[in-house]
Amino acid sequence: MSFPAQRPRRLRRSPALRRLVAETRLHPADFILPLFVREGIDAPAPISSMPGVFQHTETSLLDAAEEARDLGLGGIMLFGIPAQRDAHGSAGLDPQGILNRSIRAVKERVGDDLLVMSDLCLDEFTDHGHCGVLDGTGSVDNDRTLEIYAQMGVVQAEAGADVVAPSGMMDGQVAVIRQALDDAGHHNVPILAYAAKYASAFYGPFREAVDSQLSGDRRQYQMDATNRTEALREVELDLSEGADMVMVKPASAYLDILSDVAQISDVPVAAYQVSGEYAMIEAAAANGWVDRRAVVLESLIAIRRAGATNVLTYYAAEVARWLQNKDTTAPSSSAPHS
């Protein structure tokens, strides 16, 4: 009988050994917590398809931001839900609109210890729910939308956003936002570009989270799930336009894209574990079908392992608390196996 000369199992024998040789680790600073703030409500409103996630009031948002800071998160990503919407999304341009005044209020509360990022898109502000303004045929007018994005970027930077994150997938958006920020003296505000953003059914619960008015879909501007090479083109374009960081979205069903992008990107790569990814884990866990904490950690490990520097996730605060308590053993149990 011949015995194996190579025994990879040697390094798996104990938690201490596995910890020593772990190739991927999670740290609170890796995570960015998306937060929703809704105008005109006086108590946080639960989002039924995302158990544990709320539309914040302007006050509860500040507490959530403070908690994110105290947990040492990498940042928060703010989404605003205005009381009034119109065809042009004007509430997004109003310095006193819900998103912009919340950026200001959060920055006042948390100071420089927490990065405040803002979603730069029109879909929360338009009455038709599209990410830009419409032309005569009902399509999103790319170039007129760019003009609005440029102004939005400046208004958000002026409100104090540390990073702006254009998520509308308009062609040329990074270039016009960079130019507008520079012209207004905000040359130090980085752009986190949603570079490879797919038209995805995994955004379903987000529609409830922002009370989206969208009928139809975003397939004329977000990427088609069938395409892999095209993601590299989108990333290269955004890099050439001046993106400081690029994002892949969604995450779990697009780990191949994330891995490809990490290979070619010379700037940090973020990935967004989106609302539907969260909802699926929550639903399975609520039924007792999976071990919630283990699955959450494994999903985040996988996203980091595929190449993400940072992960936007609704689990950010909870995972940071687990990490503080040293519950870092991701999918494995603590007992050594024989």
Query: Which are the catalytic amino acids?
Result: 197, 249
Q: Which of 30, 39, 58, 123 binds ligand PBG (CB under 6 A)?
A: 123
Q: Which residues contact 92 (CB under 8 A, 6 or more apart)?
A: 80, 82, 99, 100, 122, 124, 125, 148, 152, 155
Closer to ligand PBG at the Cβ: 203 or 315? 203
Residue range at the interface with ligand PBG (CB under 6 A); choices 55-63, 115-123, 155-163, 232-240: 115-123
- Whole-angstrom Cα distance, residue 42 to residue 58? 9
Which secondary structure element, helix H or strand E, spans residue 109, and what is its range?
Answer: helix 98-110
Closer to ligand PBG at the Cβ: 206 or 315? 206
x/- map, 44-83, ligand PBG, by CB under 6 A? ----------------------------------------
Task: Check if the beta carbon of residue 49 is closer than 8 Å to that of residue 324.
Answer: no
- Whole-angstrom Cα distance, residue 46 to residue 326? 29
Number of residues that this document lists for the chain: 338
Cis before 268? omega within 30: no
Q: Which of 164, 235, 274, 303 binds ligand PBG (CB under 6 A)?
A: 274
Residue range at the interface with ligand PBG (CB under 6 A); choices 10-18, 116-124, 175-183, 318-326: 116-124
Task: Check if the beta carbon of residue 248 is closer than 8 Å to that of residue 257.
Answer: yes
Query: Please, what is the minimum distance in Å from the beta carbon of residue 214 to ligand PBG?
Result: 7
x/- map, 149-188, ligand PBG, by CB under 6 A? ------------------x---------------------
Q: Which of 176, 218, 234, 299 binds ligand PBG (CB under 6 A)?
A: 218
Q: Residue 131 carries which DSSP code? A: S
Tokens of 308: 């993400």
Query: Please, what is the minimum distance in Å from the beta carbon of residue 111 to ligand PBG?
Result: 26
Q: Which of 30, 119, 162, 241 binds ligand PBG (CB under 6 A)?
A: 119
Closer to ligand PBG at the Cβ: 144 or 207? 207
State which of positions 189-208 bind ligand PBG (CB under 6 A).
203, 206
DSSP 56-81: EPHHHHHHHHHHHHHTT-SEEEEEEE
Residue range at the interface with ligand PBG (CB under 6 A); choices 8-16, 90-98, 119-127, 153-161: 119-127
| 234 contributes a contact to ligand PBG by CB under 6 A | no
How many other β-carbons are positioned within 10 Å of the β-carbon of residue 109? 15
Closer to ligand PBG at the Cβ: 22 or 87? 87
- Whole-angstrom Cα distance, residue 88 to residue 253? 33
- Whole-angstrom Cα distance, residue 134 to residue 213? 14
Given the rule CB under 6 A, which residues bind ligand PBG? 119, 121, 123, 167, 203, 206, 218, 274-275
